[in-house]
Structure 1
Amino acid sequence: MHRRSTLIRVVAVGATLLTLAGVAGSATASDATASDATASDAPSAAREAAALTGTAKLDRPPGDDATVTIDAHLDAADKNDPRKAHGTIKLSHYMTNPKFGGSAEARVDCLLTGGKVATVSAVVTKADGGLKGAIGKRLGLTIHDQGKQDRFGYSWAMVGIPNDLPDDMPKCVSAAPFDKTKPGSGDLHVLPMK
């Protein structure tokens, strides 16, 4: 009996020490993370509820080069409000016939995921060339993460280019993923809602 109570006490003390070590370790890691983080990247330090990240080219014929880079995140604390998503989307599209070219950068304002499908929207903050008319407009993208060749949809599918998007487009609106990414050109990853 005496031996059993000693063993229980040793296990209890060991568990307490492990718990305290874990708390101290996480506090140290949190402190280091917090001190390294700036105000602009502080939300990304929190555990994520969902994310859409990666770079890929669309599967287009020669002379038509369209690339997208997405870095969209929804923190766990905001999982019930996809409009609190943050991050950036970068687009570039250059064609030789008809001659067209431009790039744009947009600030993410919504992210919804369901399984391996995500819809993200963002407001264009910078653009050049043929995409200058998109500044201040909201665009939407839908991605179906299929591994080596993802499916891709975009809100301007019916109007031509993002310049022609309506000024009052709602958040998290896009088209079905009707297009494809080019195999071997990169990959887009969906972290489903937790």
Structure 2
Amino acid sequence: MKNRRRALVLAGTGAALAATLIAAAPAPAAPADPAAPASSAASKPASVHGGGTIFFPYSAKDDIRFTVDADSTPWTRPLPAPGGEKGLPTDARGRVTISHHYAESGFTATAEAEVDCLVTGGRTATLTAVVKTSNVGWEGKRIGISVQDGQRGEPDRVGFSWAVANVDVKPDGTVAEGTVGTCMAPAPFTEVTRGAFKVAPAPLAPLPKP
């Protein structure tokens, strides 16, 4: 139990906060232009696949690994809010796994999460996933992951929404863990030292038909 508490502290976790999902009503679609090129709906959906070990300078001796299998599934997760009945263009599905082996204690923290959001821009993607199973008390917690698919010999990179980011300072000066909203993640601030990730980018999906 001592090791588990320590793992939680080092990972920057606290009590999981419930995320508030707010969707604005979509704007009316513009009339179709007969001369316009074919809709981007025909293009392949965005995705991120792969796995690797990262180097995290604040845990330089530890073995930290991520796997990501995420695919865009636009407008498939209805939200209980006006305008959100059809979901979001960034809806996604898939799985994320995390393993952090602490060299000093020998303890390995693990978590497996279900992807709920994915968005890409070039060879960089951000995604979020809700933890389903964990040995460090993360169940129900939404986590944010960013992935950069390295090009021209550059390494792949990964970022994550705990340990160095997502601190919420209250007006009274107290500090708490911030809520991770869908698709919210920091820049990919660590390098992948073994393994690889593939980001397949795609534009945002068109608005659904009324």
Per the normalisation by structure 2, the TM-score is 0.58
Structure with greater helix share of residues: 1
1:1-194 correspondence to structure 2 within 5 Å: 48-60=44-56, 63-75=61-73, 81-97=88-104, 100-128=107-135, 132-147=136-151, 149-158=155-164, 166=177, 168-182=179-193, 185-194=194-203
Of 105-114 and 138-147, more deviation after overlay is shown by: 138-147
In 2, are the aligned partners of 1:48 and 1:76 still within 8 Å (CA)?
Answer: no
Deviation at 1:186, TM superposition (A): 1.0
Q: Give the partner amino acid of 1:143.
A: V
In 1, are the aligned partners of 2:126 and 2:144 still within 8 Å (CA)?
Answer: yes
Deviation string for 1:125-169 (max 9, x for gaps)? 0012xxx22111000011111056211111113269xxxx94742
Of 168-177 and 113-122, more deviation after overlay is shown by: 168-177
Deviation string for 1:15-34 (max 9, x for gaps)? xxxxxxxxxxxxxxxxxxxx
Q: Give % identity.
A: 35
Q: 1:47 to 1:87 in 2, by over 3 A?
A: farther
Please give the alpha-carbon distance, in whole angstroms, between the structure 1 residues aligned to 2:132 and 2:178.
14
Deviation at 1:175, TM superposition (A): 1.0
Please give the alpha-carbon distance, in whole angstroms, between the structure 2 residues aligned to 1:157 and 1:176.
13
Q: Secondary structure at the match of 1:173?
A: coil
Q: 1:108 to 1:187 in 2, by over 3 A?
A: same
Deviation at 1:96, TM superposition (A): 1.5
Q: 1:123 to 1:167 in 2, by over 3 A?
A: farther
What is the total number of aligned residue pairs between the two structures?
139
User: Cα RMSD (Å) of the superposition?
Assistant: 2.8
Partner of 2:79: none
Please give the alpha-carbon distance, in whole angstroms, between the structure 1 residues aligned to 2:188 and 2:163.
10
Q: 1:107 to 1:82 in 2, by over 3 A?
A: farther
**Unaligned residue ranges in structure 1 (runs of 5+):** 1-45
Q: Secondary structure at the match of 1:176?
A: coil
Q: Give the partner amino acid of 1:136.
A: G
Per the normalisation by structure 1, the TM-score is 0.63
Deviation at 1:59, TM superposition (A): 2.4
Q: 1:140 to 1:77 in 2, by over 3 A?
A: closer
Larger Cα Rg: Structure 1 or Structure 2?
A: 1
Please give the alpha-carbon distance, in whole angstroms, between the structure 2 residues aligned to 1:82 and 1:121.
14
**Unaligned residue ranges in structure 2 (runs of 5+):** 1-41, 77-86, 167-175, 204-210
